Amino acid sequence: MAPIAVDERPAPPKYHGKFEIHKLKSDQSFQSEPVQGTVYHGDGREEALLKHLQSLPQLQNKPGTQPVLDAIHEFGKGENRYLMSVGDTKGTGIEKLINEKKPKHLPKIHPNSVYPANWTGDANEDKAGYISLEKSEVYAATARGAIELAGLGDVVKIVTGSSTPSLKNLRKTLNLPRPIKFDMIFIDHLKPLYTNDLKVMEEEGLIAPVSRDDNVKVRIELIEMHLALKGTIIVADNVVKPGNPAYLSYVRAKPEQKRAMLARPPLKTQPPVTPNPSDPSEWETAFCDGPLEETLWTPVESDGVTGRGDPDLVYSSEMIGGWDPYTGERDACEVSVCLRKESS
């Protein structure tokens, strides 16, 4: 495990600072609590974003992804328009990772593959594409509109609904018979859902260990090691801001730790959340020995679907450091590679 990779580039301008939300107390009065703007969504800004993108003349002839991304970023600078965006500092590292991994959603690299509109149930079909899970039809419509403007309508398949049941039913929904697996996954939604959704994907056989034929070094050298790997790569955003100790514990845990955790009964209520390290140097060892007990709680947003996962899968993880694109606060993505499956 390596410490958080610090991005030496200057932080972006602070278009947004801390926000306040109002929480209902037990006595039915309200209290203000400063939180990050990442909780702000679903108030009409998604519809406003799509309307704005569709009004821009420079986006009318499918100019590609970058002009659309630039327009989304500019929109997010406005008052009450904070958007949950990976940003260009963390995004640069992820782009490098994608260019090395060459996942099967890049039509220029995989022009002869079969894309979502034409998928069948044939397990030997050379399927390619990008699957986007969207919580609501509003979010789906916004994503679909931006994707069409970028000229990627044939490449991306949008599935609408809560993430956990959507993942549980994904093979049936999209004609993805076993042993088809994902080669790259990007996780960026409600933080307590990260671990449960990953465990569901493990159960459904959507996570692939590195091929036995691959020559894999035990020590990972940040992103460069991914070039030769064929195992599923999982990129999880916002693991520093606001943080996700339970998820980091899970992908950093040894199989025996996860097996011991599964032997315990599930939790009926959310346990106290472990705080982030106060010193960036502590990220090197943070959460390697816990708090796995937090993963025994299933968030209500999982809609009753609880994943047990596959505790025998072994991951190796490192962080891509960067900044929040609007507040200038340090953040990072956790990059985990599924290395192998151990015998229990």
Tens digits of residue pLDDT in 179-189: 889 999 999 99
Judge whether residue 136 has pLDDT over 70. Answer: yes
Helices (H), the chain: 45-55, 65-76, 87-101, 137-149, 163-168, 170-174, 193-203, 245-252, 255-262
Average pLDDT, the chain: 84
- Of 159 and 87, more confident: 159
Superfamily of domain 19-341: Vaccinia Virus protein VP39 (3.40.50.150)
Query: Does the structure show a pLDDT above 90 at 23?
Result: no
What's the CA gap between 101 and 104, in Å, rounded? Answer: 9
Predicted confidence at residue 229, as pLDDT, reads: 53
Between the CA of residue 331 and those of 3, 142, 291, 318, what are the distances in Å?
13, 26, 20, 13
Asked if residue 263 has pLDDT above 50, the reply is yes
**pLDDT for 110:** 87
Average pLDDT over residues 320-334: 90
Confidence of residue 212 (pLDDT cuts 50, 70, 90): very low
| pLDDT at position 325 over 80 | yes
Interatomic CA distance for residues 288 and 248, integer angstroms = 8
User: Domain coordinates of the chain in residue numbers?
Assistant: 19-341
Q: β-strand 330-341 against 184-187: which pairing, if any?
A: unpaired
- Sign of the alpha-carbon dihedral angle for 322, 250, 170, 140: negative
C-alpha 29/C-alpha 331 separation (Å) is 33
User: In the predicted model, is pLDDT for residue 26 greater than 60?
Assistant: no
In the beta sheet, which residues pair with residue 330? 323
Report the amino acid identity of residue 185: I
pLDDT tens profile 92-117 = 888 888 888 888 888 888 899 999 98
Share of the chain above pLDDT 90, in %: 55
Q: Quick one: pLDDT at residue 285?
A: 77
Q: What is the rounded average pLDDT of the residues 211-222?
A: 39
Bin 102: left if φ > 0, else alpha if -120 < ψ < 50, else beta: left
How confident is residue 157, by pLDDT bands cut at 50, 70 and 90?
very high
In this prediction, what percent of the chain has a pLDDT beyond 70? 84
pTM of the model: 0.88
